[in-house]
Amino acid sequence: MSSGYSSLEEDAEDFFFTARTSFFRRAPQGKPRSGQQDVEKEKETHSYLSKEEIKEKVHKYNLAVTDKLKMTLNSNGIYTGFIKVQMELCRPPQTSPNSGKLSPSSNGCMNTLHISSTNTVGEVIEALLKKFLVTESPAKFALYKRCHREDQVYACKLSDREHPLYLRLVAGPRTDTLSFVLREHEIGEWEAFSLPELQNFLRILDKEEDEQLQNLRRRYVAYRHKLEEALREVWKPD
Residue 5 domain-assigned?
no
Q: How many angstroms separate the Cα of 79 from the Cα of each of 18, 39, 101, 124?
A: 14, 30, 30, 16
Mean pLDDT, all residues of the chain: 76
120 and 168 fall within a common domain: yes
Are residues 165 and 193 both part of a single domain? no
The residue from 143, 162, 184 where one domain ends is 184
Q: Are residues 177 and 192 in the same domain?
A: no
- Per the CB < 8 A criterion, the answer to whether 126 and 137 are in contact is no
Whether residue 99 lies inside any domain: the answer is: no
| CA-based R_g, the chain, Å | 26
List pLDDT tens digits, range 144-158.
999 887 778 888 999
Residue span of the structural domain in which 74 resides: 51-90+106-184
Domain match, 201 and 140 both:
no
Question: Are 84 and 202 found together in one domain?
Answer: no
Q: Looking at the structure, do residues 69 and 111 belong to the same domain, yes or no? A: yes
Residue range 180-193: mean pLDDT, rounded: 73
- For 118, other C-beta atoms within 10 Å of its C-beta total 16
Same-domain check for residues 135 and 180: yes
**Same domain assignment for residues 180 and 195:** no
Task: Give a yes or no: residue 122 inside a domain.
Answer: yes
56-105 tens-digit pLDDT: 999 999 999 998 899 999 998 899 999 999 988 776 677 766 555 555 55
**Do 175 and 201 fall within a single domain?**
no
Q: Is the pLDDT of residue 194 over 90?
A: no
What are the pLDDT digits (tens) for 12-31? Answer: 333 333 333 323 333 344 44
Full-model pTM: 0.60
| CATH code of the domain in which 152 resides | 3.10.20.90
The answer as to whether 197 is a domain residue is yes
Specify the pLDDT at position 144: 94
The rounded distance, in Å, linking the Cα atoms of 43 and 98 is 40
Say if residue 148 is in the same domain as residue 211.
Answer: no
The amino acid at residue 200 is: N
Pinpoint the alpha helices (H) of the chain: 51-64, 121-131, 164-171, 195-234
Q: What is the pLDDT of residues 50-61, one digit of tens each?
A: 889 999 999 999
**Do both 114 and 218 map to the same domain?**
no
Residue 115 and residue 226 in one domain: no
How many domains in the chain? 2
